[in-house]
Amino acid sequence: MKVLANDGISQSGVDALEKAGFEVITTNVAQEQLINYINESNIDVILVRSATKVRKDIIDACPSIKIIGRGGVGMDNIDVDYAREKGLHVINTPAASSSSVAELVFAHLFTGVRFLHDSNRNMALEGDSKFAQLKKAYAKGTELRGKTLGIIGFGRIGREVAKIALGVGMKVIASDKFVGKAEIKVDFYNGQFINVEIETEPIEDILKHADFITLHVPAQNDYVIGKKEIEAMRNGVGIVNAARGGVIDEVALVEALDSRKISFAGLDTFENEPTPAIKLLMSPYISLSPHIGAATGEAQDRIGTELASQIISILNAASV
């Protein structure tokens, strides 16, 4: 059987699949050529990340496909319900990248409170001639310890963010439509741990009380954070979005940054990927990354091996 990992897969995933007798193809096929390639190559499994889309046209035109796999959490680039109606298995790896995304959230938070996103730009340009001025410009940093982090979306990634926040010494508050409370286990290097129970609150309370806000929700039809929500936030709040583009009104965000209602933002995802708005890219108040939440070697290894395990299990069961 043939597996097309169109957006790539870790070597550990390749090794596991090949050991089970699968042929793994890592050629990146252009979206418009996928149907022909899948049919000509008689592909049984297609694996994607966020770049490749598996819509109704591919599902209808490619009868050889048995499994569609998404390396990561969100599956908004796959017509999941339609595929399952047609008898296809649709799988993902919701837990594999949680730690990596959570660490990126804190990379943006630490960057924002110490102005590293802007100082890195200006030190390169003027560090040799305006060192004293730059030192003064970036001298009013903020510590995260003792501050309140509001987490909107308290699933796997939100809880991983909570673990780090608790370890840093932050107060954590959270909001989720489907989660009433969660016990967060904070592990330490020497085997010790603490458990902290967090009850979720209405989003209005998060907006009102949080010093920093991070979003961990799936793709939405409407903004989770728009102008109204920003107005309800504390003055000087920092906000991070490493979830999905389109959950924050970017026009309202830029306006709030310019007015200093929001002190800084950290963005890993954007409404218009792969061409984010120029105002976002040029803002001195935004820490930017190109949708790399799950892009660590450790996460990709976990994703690859987890996908391989699910594929092997499904197809072995089908052959019995």
Q: How far is CA 88 from CA 24, 59, 80, 262, 297, in A?
A: 19, 9, 9, 45, 29
> Which of 160, 291, 302, 306 is flagged as catalytic?
291
Q: In Å, how far from its chain's centre is CA 266?
A: 12
3-class SS letters over the chain? CEEEECCCCCHHHHHHHHHCCCEEECCCCCHHHHHHHHHHHCCCEEEECCCCCECHHHHHHCCCCCEEEECCCCCCCECHHHHHHCCCEEEECCCCCHHHHHHHHHHHHHHHHCCHHHHHHHHHHHCCCCHHHHHHHCCCCCCCCCCEEEEECCCHHHHHHHHHHHHHCCEEEEECCCCCEEEEEEECCCCCEEEEEEECCCHHHHHHHCCEEEECCCCCCCCCECHHHHHHCCCCEEEEECCCCCCECHHHHHHHHHHCCEEEEEECCCCCCCCCCHHHHHCCCEEECCCCCCCCHHHHHHHHHHHHHHHHHHHHHHHC
CA torsion sign for 13, 14, 20, 24 is: positive
Paired tokens of 141 = 């940093």
Task: Tell me whether residue 244 is one of the annotated catalytic residues.
Answer: yes
> Which of 244, 250, 302, 306 is flagged as catalytic?
244
The residues annotated as belonging to the active site are 244, 273, 291
